[in-house]
Amino acid sequence: MSIPDNYQSGLPMARAVIADDHPLFRAALKQALTETLDTPILEAASFEQLLELISAEPQIELVLLDLTMPGNRGLTGLTSLRSRYPDILVVIVSANEQPATIQQAMAFGASAYIPKSMPLAELQHAVHTVLAGDTWLPEYLKDAVEAQPIAAHADFASRLEQLTPQQFRVLECLADGLLNKQIAFELNVQETTIKQHVSAILRKLNVINRTQAGVVFKQMLNANEFNAEVDA
Protein backbone atom coordinates (compact mmCIF):
# COMPACT_ATOMS: atom_id res chain seq x y z
CA MET A 1 0.00 0.00 0.00
CA SER A 2 1.35 3.42 -0.93
CA ILE A 3 1.68 6.50 1.24
CA PRO A 4 -1.77 8.17 1.46
CA ASP A 5 -2.80 11.10 -0.71
CA ASN A 6 -2.70 13.57 2.18
CA TYR A 7 1.09 13.17 2.33
CA GLN A 8 3.18 15.78 0.49
CA SER A 9 6.93 15.75 0.88
CA GLY A 10 7.18 19.51 0.32
CA LEU A 11 5.13 20.36 3.41
CA PRO A 12 6.71 21.44 6.70
CA MET A 13 7.76 18.51 8.85
CA ALA A 14 4.88 16.75 10.58
CA ARG A 15 4.96 15.89 14.28
CA ALA A 16 1.94 13.62 14.54
CA VAL A 17 0.06 10.85 12.74
CA ILE A 18 -3.56 9.86 13.30
CA ALA A 19 -3.81 6.13 12.59
CA ASP A 20 -7.46 5.10 12.28
CA ASP A 21 -9.46 3.50 9.46
CA HIS A 22 -12.56 5.72 9.93
CA PRO A 23 -12.23 8.92 7.81
CA LEU A 24 -14.82 10.91 9.78
CA PHE A 25 -13.16 10.13 13.10
CA ARG A 26 -9.74 11.01 11.67
CA ALA A 27 -11.15 14.34 10.49
CA ALA A 28 -12.54 15.12 13.96
CA LEU A 29 -9.25 14.24 15.64
CA LYS A 30 -7.29 16.26 13.13
CA GLN A 31 -9.45 19.31 13.74
CA ALA A 32 -8.92 19.01 17.48
CA LEU A 33 -5.17 18.49 17.19
CA THR A 34 -4.69 21.32 14.71
CA GLU A 35 -5.42 23.68 17.59
CA THR A 36 -2.81 21.91 19.73
CA LEU A 37 0.04 21.28 17.26
CA ASP A 38 1.59 23.92 15.01
CA THR A 39 2.77 21.53 12.28
CA PRO A 40 0.95 19.38 9.69
CA ILE A 41 -0.83 16.27 10.96
CA LEU A 42 -0.67 13.16 8.80
CA GLU A 43 -3.25 10.39 8.55
CA ALA A 44 -2.97 6.63 8.06
CA ALA A 45 -5.86 4.24 7.39
CA SER A 46 -3.83 1.06 8.08
CA PHE A 47 -0.85 0.01 10.15
CA GLU A 48 1.15 -0.49 6.96
CA GLN A 49 0.50 3.11 5.93
CA LEU A 50 1.52 4.26 9.40
CA LEU A 51 4.90 2.54 9.14
CA GLU A 52 5.46 4.05 5.69
CA LEU A 53 4.72 7.54 6.98
CA ILE A 54 7.06 7.16 9.94
CA SER A 55 9.79 5.94 7.60
CA ALA A 56 9.24 8.95 5.31
CA GLU A 57 8.95 11.45 8.19
CA PRO A 58 11.54 10.40 10.81
CA GLN A 59 10.87 13.49 12.95
CA ILE A 60 7.37 12.28 13.88
CA GLU A 61 7.04 12.22 17.67
CA LEU A 62 3.39 11.34 18.30
CA VAL A 63 1.07 8.61 17.00
CA LEU A 64 -2.61 8.32 17.86
CA LEU A 65 -3.31 4.64 17.30
CA ASP A 66 -6.60 2.75 16.94
CA LEU A 67 -6.44 -0.80 18.32
CA THR A 68 -8.51 -2.42 15.57
CA MET A 69 -7.40 -0.66 12.38
CA PRO A 70 -6.32 -2.93 9.48
CA GLY A 71 -2.93 -4.51 10.14
CA ASN A 72 -3.06 -3.90 13.89
CA ARG A 73 -3.94 -6.91 16.03
CA GLY A 74 -4.81 -5.82 19.55
CA LEU A 75 -1.67 -4.50 21.21
CA THR A 76 0.77 -5.86 18.62
CA GLY A 77 0.86 -2.53 16.80
CA LEU A 78 1.69 -0.69 20.01
CA THR A 79 4.48 -3.09 20.96
CA SER A 80 5.83 -3.05 17.41
CA LEU A 81 6.03 0.75 17.40
CA ARG A 82 7.65 0.81 20.84
CA SER A 83 10.26 -1.69 19.63
CA ARG A 84 11.05 -0.01 16.32
CA TYR A 85 10.67 3.62 17.38
CA PRO A 86 11.16 3.92 21.16
CA ASP A 87 11.29 7.74 20.97
CA ILE A 88 7.79 8.04 19.46
CA LEU A 89 4.95 8.66 21.91
CA VAL A 90 2.00 6.34 21.26
CA VAL A 91 -1.48 7.35 22.38
CA ILE A 92 -4.21 4.71 22.11
CA VAL A 93 -7.58 6.09 20.94
CA SER A 94 -10.18 3.35 21.17
CA ALA A 95 -13.83 2.50 21.78
CA ASN A 96 -12.65 -0.32 24.07
CA GLU A 97 -12.97 0.91 27.66
CA GLN A 98 -12.21 -2.39 29.44
CA PRO A 99 -9.92 -1.61 32.40
CA ALA A 100 -7.83 -4.74 31.75
CA THR A 101 -7.20 -3.65 28.15
CA ILE A 102 -6.23 -0.15 29.26
CA GLN A 103 -3.90 -1.50 31.94
CA GLN A 104 -2.21 -3.76 29.39
CA ALA A 105 -1.76 -0.91 26.91
CA MET A 106 -0.11 1.28 29.53
CA ALA A 107 2.11 -1.61 30.68
CA PHE A 108 3.28 -2.12 27.11
CA GLY A 109 4.31 1.50 26.68
CA ALA A 110 1.30 3.63 25.71
CA SER A 111 1.64 7.23 26.87
CA ALA A 112 -2.14 7.68 27.13
CA TYR A 113 -5.38 5.81 26.58
CA ILE A 114 -8.24 7.92 25.25
CA PRO A 115 -11.73 6.41 24.88
CA LYS A 116 -13.46 7.48 21.67
CA SER A 117 -16.40 8.64 23.80
CA MET A 118 -14.28 11.42 25.34
CA PRO A 119 -15.00 15.04 24.31
CA LEU A 120 -12.45 16.50 21.92
CA ALA A 121 -11.44 19.06 24.54
CA GLU A 122 -10.32 16.19 26.78
CA LEU A 123 -8.34 14.73 23.89
CA GLN A 124 -6.54 18.05 23.50
CA HIS A 125 -5.74 18.04 27.22
CA ALA A 126 -4.45 14.45 26.97
CA VAL A 127 -2.14 15.31 24.08
CA HIS A 128 -0.83 18.38 25.92
CA THR A 129 -0.10 16.17 28.93
CA VAL A 130 1.73 13.54 26.86
CA LEU A 131 3.84 16.08 24.98
CA ALA A 132 4.79 17.58 28.34
CA GLY A 133 6.28 14.21 29.30
CA ASP A 134 3.52 12.71 31.44
CA THR A 135 1.11 9.81 30.96
CA TRP A 136 -2.66 10.30 30.85
CA LEU A 137 -5.79 8.31 31.66
CA PRO A 138 -9.38 9.54 31.97
CA GLU A 139 -10.24 10.26 35.59
CA TYR A 140 -13.36 8.08 35.60
CA LEU A 141 -11.33 4.98 34.65
CA LYS A 142 -8.21 5.43 36.79
CA ASP A 143 -9.42 3.52 39.84
CA ALA A 144 -10.66 0.56 37.78
CA VAL A 145 -7.42 0.43 35.79
CA GLU A 146 -5.22 0.63 38.88
CA ALA A 147 -7.20 -2.23 40.43
CA GLN A 148 -6.15 -4.59 37.64
CA PRO A 149 -3.41 -7.18 38.32
CA ILE A 150 -0.24 -6.06 36.60
CA ALA A 151 2.56 -8.44 37.56
CA ALA A 152 2.43 -10.78 34.55
CA HIS A 153 1.97 -8.04 31.97
CA ALA A 154 4.63 -5.83 33.51
CA ASP A 155 7.14 -8.67 33.59
CA PHE A 156 6.47 -9.64 29.97
CA ALA A 157 6.61 -5.99 28.88
CA SER A 158 10.03 -5.62 30.51
CA ARG A 159 11.24 -8.75 28.71
CA LEU A 160 9.95 -7.48 25.36
CA GLU A 161 11.94 -4.29 25.86
CA GLN A 162 15.11 -6.40 25.88
CA LEU A 163 14.51 -7.50 22.27
CA THR A 164 16.15 -5.65 19.42
CA PRO A 165 13.80 -4.40 16.65
CA GLN A 166 14.92 -7.30 14.42
CA GLN A 167 14.32 -9.83 17.19
CA PHE A 168 10.86 -8.38 17.73
CA ARG A 169 10.06 -8.85 14.05
CA VAL A 170 11.24 -12.45 14.29
CA LEU A 171 8.99 -12.96 17.33
CA GLU A 172 6.01 -11.64 15.36
CA CYS A 173 6.79 -14.16 12.64
CA LEU A 174 7.07 -16.95 15.21
CA ALA A 175 3.64 -16.00 16.54
CA ASP A 176 2.29 -16.31 12.98
CA GLY A 177 3.68 -19.85 12.78
CA LEU A 178 6.43 -19.20 10.22
CA LEU A 179 9.44 -21.51 9.94
CA ASN A 180 13.01 -20.20 10.13
CA LYS A 181 13.39 -20.50 6.35
CA GLN A 182 10.21 -18.48 5.80
CA ILE A 183 11.25 -15.83 8.31
CA ALA A 184 14.66 -15.53 6.64
CA PHE A 185 12.92 -14.96 3.31
CA GLU A 186 10.56 -12.37 4.83
CA LEU A 187 13.41 -10.42 6.45
CA ASN A 188 15.92 -10.99 3.63
CA VAL A 189 18.61 -12.50 5.87
CA GLN A 190 20.35 -15.86 6.22
CA GLU A 191 18.57 -18.70 8.00
CA THR A 192 21.52 -18.98 10.42
CA THR A 193 20.85 -15.38 11.46
CA ILE A 194 17.24 -16.26 12.25
CA LYS A 195 18.38 -19.22 14.35
CA GLN A 196 20.59 -16.87 16.37
CA HIS A 197 17.70 -14.45 16.83
CA VAL A 198 15.36 -17.24 17.96
CA SER A 199 17.89 -18.42 20.56
CA ALA A 200 18.19 -14.87 21.89
CA ILE A 201 14.40 -14.46 21.98
CA LEU A 202 13.92 -17.66 23.97
CA ARG A 203 16.55 -16.57 26.46
CA LYS A 204 15.22 -13.04 26.89
CA LEU A 205 11.57 -14.12 27.20
CA ASN A 206 12.50 -17.04 29.47
CA VAL A 207 10.58 -19.62 27.42
CA ILE A 208 11.67 -23.11 26.40
CA ASN A 209 10.85 -23.21 22.68
CA ARG A 210 9.67 -21.16 19.69
CA THR A 211 6.09 -22.42 20.02
CA GLN A 212 5.86 -21.22 23.60
CA ALA A 213 7.34 -17.87 22.60
CA GLY A 214 4.67 -17.35 19.94
CA VAL A 215 1.84 -18.53 22.20
CA VAL A 216 2.86 -16.30 25.12
CA PHE A 217 3.24 -13.33 22.77
CA LYS A 218 -0.28 -13.80 21.40
CA GLN A 219 -1.82 -14.44 24.80
CA MET A 220 -0.30 -11.36 26.37
CA LEU A 221 -1.22 -9.03 23.54
CA ASN A 222 -4.70 -10.36 22.82
CA ALA A 223 -5.87 -11.49 26.24
CA ASN A 224 -9.03 -9.42 26.17
CA GLU A 225 -10.31 -10.45 22.71
CA PHE A 226 -10.31 -7.08 21.00
CA ASN A 227 -12.98 -8.36 18.61
CA ALA A 228 -15.44 -7.20 21.24
CA GLU A 229 -14.52 -3.62 20.45
CA VAL A 230 -17.18 -1.56 18.67
CA ASP A 231 -15.24 1.36 17.21
CA ALA A 232 -17.29 4.19 15.84
Question: What is the pTM for the complete model shown?
Answer: 0.75
Give the pLDDT confidence of 17-47 residue by residue, as tens digits. Answer: 999 999 999 998 898 888 778 778 999 999 9
CA distance 38 to 127: 13
Assigned CATH topology for domain 16-148: Rossmann fold (3.40.50)
- Give the least confident one: 89-98, 146-155, 194-203: 146-155
Query: So where are the chain's domains?
Result: 16-148, 151-221
CATH 3.30.950.10 fits 151-221, yes or no: no
CA distance 154 to 150: 6
User: What does the buried/exposed string (b/e) look like for 165-203 if buried means 16 or more CB atoms within 10 Å of the residue's CB?
Assistant: ebbbbbbbbbbeebebeebbeeeeeeeeebeebbebbbe
Residue 186 has pLDDT above 80, yes or no: yes
The residue among 112 and 154 whose pLDDT is bigger is: 112
